[in-house]
Amino acid sequence: MSLANKYRPKTFDEMIWQEHIIDILKAQMKSRDVVHHNYLLFWPRWTWKTTSARLIAKALNCLNLQDWNPCNHCANCELINNWTSLDYVEIDAASHTWVDNIREEIIDKASYPPTTLSKKIYVIDEVHMLSKWAFNALLKTIEEPKGNVCFIFATTEIHKVPDTIISRCQVFNYKKVPDNAMVSHLENICKQENLKYTESALKIISNISEWCVRDAVKYVDQVSILWDLNEENVARFLWVAWESLIKETLQDIKTWDREKIFSKLDNIWWQGIDLSQFAKQTIGYLDQHLLEDTDFYLRCSEIFWDIISTIKRYPYPIVAYKIAINKYLNGNNTESTSKPVIEKKIISEEKKNDWKKEEPQKIEEQKPEIKQDSEKKAENTPQENKPNDHKDYSWNFKELWNNVLEKMNKPTAQTHLKDEAIIEKKEGNILEITVITSLAKVLLNNEDNKKVLEKLLSDELGENITMNITFIKKEEYFAQKMWL
């Protein structure tokens, strides 16, 4: 059995770093007769999704709860574990068959009482993929909760789930597992499996698994074949870099010594390290250590984003590194070389105003205000609050943002800013933008990026736009949205 399966959580208590959810679930199990919730499980990143849904399903049906955890041995737990009861249904909404058949397969059948279990459970994974029609059909079912039917929805993109569904569910935000908790979890596994390990090696694994426990355990499993999880083995087996190598590389870049930097890069390349992964690891490192050398690390973030976005264009990834670093080294002597080129491109590019055409009236309404504001330029502060702006333009803001990012001509920035930076409202010529990840924050705090985006937004809206950026953690952001 793989370690990932062996250490898959079988009780609530085994879900690491999710105490905020465990406490609520256990409290609900204690007062079992009042449990008539539907659940919406939200993950910032794919992890133990169906596992967690199954845990709740088992606990709701378990005949012999152990400290309010499912026992995993009673008849009902077994039925769910083996997936042999018709009362327990797991559906992947990403599959179109289910979307089409939602009425026949779920809604009609949900009205019959359970036959083998005490509660009928429908788990719908990737629920945000359901069509509007399917959501409406579901809504009617969950609006009239029955004591013996429970829906458990799971999603990685809660912003795509309609508010009407969210407001009728108990929402659980699963947290990313930070390095410390992840490393101690992996340590426990290594001890139980009699594996030799070093803490720094486990830290690398935590880092490349991007806070996802399942992936981290999978990596431990892969390297465990060598029985010794040290930095060298982890690096060799997973083709990744160890932290001191990343640090050294950054120090070399700081010397501006082209020969030294390029020879270091060649060295990394010949060691067989996966250079795409190396760029990602470096960005992770920069983000974690941003305060140690903020200006330099922000510039480095930009270099490595450049590398990630161009690396696939070259048959040898090392070339992407050398070009990006060379550009940076040249830029230090003659300001930024890339900026004039980008601006030229923006001016020459044909405007895409499709989003304007669809709602022409609203744009015109804005115009008198626009002129006034553009005269006042950047130091302008909004004169009046227009609470309705948000609602009226929310549909357009998304389109506006996507159009602008497309024109920015930076695929990586586009990918990360698309859903991780949100235009909240426009007040005068100020666009209020919320960023919900630290990577998006780094990208938008970069002066060059900011200038380019403000220029593009100004072109689209026909006035001098200033972006006002607020950072808020993704989980908190969606939690706020949910209760608004």
15 forms part of the interface with Zn ion (CB under 5 A): no
Number of residues that bind Zn ion (CB under 5 A): 4
Instruction: Judge whether 172 and 21 are in contact, CB under 8 Å.
Output: yes
Nearer to Zn ion among residue 64 and residue 415 (C-beta):
64
Dist. CA 301–CA 310, nearest whole Å: 14
Q: How far is the CB of 79 from Zn ion (least distance, A)?
A: 10
User: How far from chain centre, in Å, is Cα 5?
Assistant: 24
350 DSSP 8-state letter: P
79 forms part of the interface with Zn ion (CB under 5 A): no
Write the DSSP assignment of 214-253 as a string of letters. HHHHHHHHHHGGGSEE-HHHHHHHHT---HHHHHHHHHHH
Nearer to Zn ion among residue 35 and residue 74 (C-beta):
74
Choose which of 29, 53, 62, 308 interacts with Zn ion (CB under 5 A).
62
* Segment lying near Zn ion (by CB under 5 A), choices 77-85, 148-156, 399-407, 437-445: 77-85
Nearer to Zn ion among residue 117 and residue 195 (C-beta):
117
Q: How far is the CB of 125 from Zn ion (least distance, A)?
A: 23
Burial of 275 (0-12, 13-18, 19+ CB in 10 A): buried
φ, ψ of residue 144 in degrees (nearest 5)? -115, 80
Q: How far is the CB of 62 from Zn ion (least distance, A)?
A: 3
74 forms part of the interface with Zn ion (CB under 5 A): yes
* Segment lying near Zn ion (by CB under 5 A), choices 70-78, 204-212, 274-282, 359-367: 70-78
Choose which of 71, 89, 201, 204 interacts with Zn ion (CB under 5 A).
71
78 forms part of the interface with Zn ion (CB under 5 A): no
* Segment lying near Zn ion (by CB under 5 A), choices 72-80, 325-333, 346-354, 438-446: 72-80
Number of residues in the chain: 484
Q: How far is the CB of 75 from Zn ion (least distance, A)?
A: 8
- Positive or negative: CA dihedral 96, 101, 103, 106: negative
Strands 88-92 and 421-427: unpaired
* Cβ neighbours of 235 (radius 10 Å): 19
319 forms part of the interface with Zn ion (CB under 5 A): no
Q: How far is the CB of 36 from Zn ion (least distance, A)?
A: 20
Instruction: Judge whether 469 and 445 are in contact, CB under 8 Å.
Output: yes
77 forms part of the interface with Zn ion (CB under 5 A): yes
Q: How far is the CB of 82 from Zn ion (least distance, A)?
A: 13
List of residues contacting Zn ion (CB under 5 A): 62, 71, 74, 77
